[in-house]
């Protein structure tokens, strides 16, 4: 639950900061006020360049969508409503669409879909298409059918994107949810042009932040197991306290497993082991070291708990069944794998690389002793004597 809320933290801060800044935009120096209308275009260009650099086609569509009210000023409530409905609906739908890259046939198709919605909205605004019955009240209430349909689409968009965020807990859904809320606030409150520019600029800033977080995720998070990768581990080792422990975890007979069931099924095993490490290594932190090897880092406050935690991890991995396809039986079966673990406690003045090497040597001792067990490395002082 905490991790899920963390994905919303920074987007909500951007929203709150933009609302606060818009209230005091009148106190800016005249030069800043004159430059404020250019800020959405500057952030739009930055967003496009980052989306191109990181090959994110969904963000390309979003930033183009957000720029529409700036290049096409809304002259009526119908224009604002049309833009709001199209924007919220498209943002919600994009959360359920796979990323296909910056500019290809998939992005062109999505642009065509967006253009179709905008043309439809413009046709209604220009009275080329008329739905007179939508202006009638619902069962003699003060609410018209058009207002009812508007809020139905908005609530549907919010429900869809909230469900996507709750299930996937990814930054795109979190930013999309906050973006829809921002657009609703922007459309239903009377703001000056300067306030509008400030709030719209925050929208672009929100998606720039998303792209930067995506670059961080691609650099530091292993895409298969969703655990921090080798680069994140190296940075973690640099900032460790004087007392800590490092554990190496290796899946037993993994090469044989891949030869028997295939690498796709091996990926399932890696994901399963990563899940157990993520769930049961706390208060340690698990990393994917490479291949079928993982590393767990324990800081000084919890060293007395290391043995029990590692034993729990070993037991959980052993008893967690994984569904794989057996090519011989031509059907799905459940299999269990085991893991060997080696742990080393840092000695005073010892470098992390040396501790990691001792943990790796202890891991191979566990392999030689029969696998599916934990071996603690001797201290560096004992080895020297």
Please determine, for residue 1, whether its predicted confidence score (pLDDT) is greater than 90. no
Residue 241: both structure tokens together: 């306290």
Q: How far are the Cα atoms of 34, 186, 192, 195 from residue 25, in angstroms, in the given order?
A: 11, 15, 10, 7
Which residue did the predictor score with more confidence, 139 or 155? 155
Q: What pLDDT score was predicted for residue 297?
A: 94
Number of helices followed by number of strands (H, E) in the chain: 15, 7
**Interval 259-283: pLDDT, tens:** 989 999 999 999 999 999 999 998 8
Q: How confident is the model at residue 383 (pLDDT cuts 50, 70, 90)?
A: low
Q: What pLDDT score was predicted for residue 141?
A: 67
What top-level class would CATH report for the domain 230-384? alpha beta
Please determine, for residue 60, whether its predicted confidence score (pLDDT) is greater than 60. yes
How far apart are alpha carbons 273 and 226 in whole angstroms? 11
Share of the chain above pLDDT 70, in %: 87
Q: How far are the Cα atoms of 94, 208, 305 from residue 59, in angstroms, in the given order?
A: 9, 9, 45
Q: Return the domain boundaries, the chain.
A: 2-220, 230-384
Share of the chain above pLDDT 90, in %: 33
Please determine, for residue 5, whether its predicted confidence score (pLDDT) is greater than 60. yes
Q: How far are the Cα atoms of 162, 238, 272, 297, 344 from residue 242, in angstroms, in the given order?
A: 43, 11, 32, 13, 14
For residues 139-162, give the mean pLDDT: 79
For residues 241-251, give the mean pLDDT: 92
Q: What is the mean pLDDT of the chain?
A: 84
Q: Are 92 and 180 in contact (CB under 8 A)?
A: yes
Q: What pLDDT score was predicted for residue 67?
A: 84
Q: How confident is the model at residue 367 (pLDDT cuts 50, 70, 90)?
A: very high
Please determine, for residue 329, whether its predicted confidence score (pLDDT) is greater than 60. yes
Q: How far are the Cα atoms of 8, 23, 48, 65, 154 from residue 52, in angstroms, in the given order?
A: 25, 34, 6, 16, 30
For residues 227-237, give the mean pLDDT: 91
Q: Are 44 and 204 in contact (CB under 8 A)?
A: yes
For residues 214-241, give the mean pLDDT: 89
Please determine, for residue 385, whether its predicted confidence score (pLDDT) is greater than 50. no
Q: Are 178 and 18 in contact (CB under 8 A)?
A: no
Q: Are 169 and 197 in contact (CB under 8 A)?
A: no
Query: For the chain, first and last CA: distance in Å?
Result: 49
Q: Are 188 and 22 in contact (CB under 8 A)?
A: no
Three-class secondary structure of residue 47 per DSSP? helix
Please determine, for residue 74, whether its predicted confidence score (pLDDT) is greater than 70. no
Q: What angle do CA 228, 231, 234 make, to 5 degrees?
A: 105
How far apart are alpha carbons 134 and 85 in whole angstroms? 16
For residues 328-350, give the mean pLDDT: 90
């Amino acid at each position: 639950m905490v991790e899920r809320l963390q994905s919303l933290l920074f987007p909500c801060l951007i929203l709150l900061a933009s609302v606060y800044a818009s209230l005091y935009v009148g106190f800016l120096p005249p030069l800043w006020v004159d430059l404020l209308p250019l800020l959405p275009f500057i952030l739009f260009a930055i967003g496009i360049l980052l989306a191109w650099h990181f090959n994110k086609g969904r963000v390309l569509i979003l930033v183009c969508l957000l720029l529409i009210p700036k290049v096409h000023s809304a002259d009526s409530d119908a224009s604002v409503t049309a833009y709001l409905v199209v924007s919220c609906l498209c943002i919600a739908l994009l959360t359920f669409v796979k990323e296909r890259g910056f500019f290809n046939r998939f992005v062109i198709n999505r642009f065509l879909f967006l253009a179709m919605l905008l043309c439809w909205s413009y046709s209604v605004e220009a009275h080329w298409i008329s739905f007179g019955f939508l202006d009638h009240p619902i069962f003699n209430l003060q609410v018209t059918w058009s207002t009812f349909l508007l809020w139905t689409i908005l609530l549907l968009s919010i429900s869809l994107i909230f469900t996507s965020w709750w299930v996937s807990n990814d930054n795109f859904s979190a930013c999309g949810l906050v973006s829809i809320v921002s657009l609703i606030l922007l459309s239903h409150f009377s703001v000056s042009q300067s306030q509008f520019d400030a709030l719209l600029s925050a929208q672009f800033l929100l998606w720039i932040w998303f792209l930067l977080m995506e670059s961080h995720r691609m650099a530091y998070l292993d895409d298969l197991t969703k655990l921090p990768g080798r680069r994140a581990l190296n940075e973690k080792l640099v900032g460790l306290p004087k007392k800590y422990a490092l554990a190496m975890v290796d899946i037993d007979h993994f090469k044989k497993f891949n030869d028997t069931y295939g690498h796709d099924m091996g990926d399932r095993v890696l994901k399963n082991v990563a899940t157990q490490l993520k769930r049961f290594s706390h208060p340690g932190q698990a990393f994917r070291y490479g291949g079928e090897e993982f590393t767990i880092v324990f800081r000084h406050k919890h060293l007395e708990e290391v043995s029990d935690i590692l034993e729990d991890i070993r037991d959980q991995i052993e008893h967690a069944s994984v569904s794989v396809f057996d090519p011989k039986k031509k059907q799905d079966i459940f299999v269990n794998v085991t893991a060997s673990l080696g742990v080393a406690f840092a000695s005073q003045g010892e470098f992390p690389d040396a501790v990691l090497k001792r943990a790796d040597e202890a891991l191979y001792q566990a392999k030689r002793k029969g696998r599916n067990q934990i071996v603690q490395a001797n201290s560096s002082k004992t080895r020297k004597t």
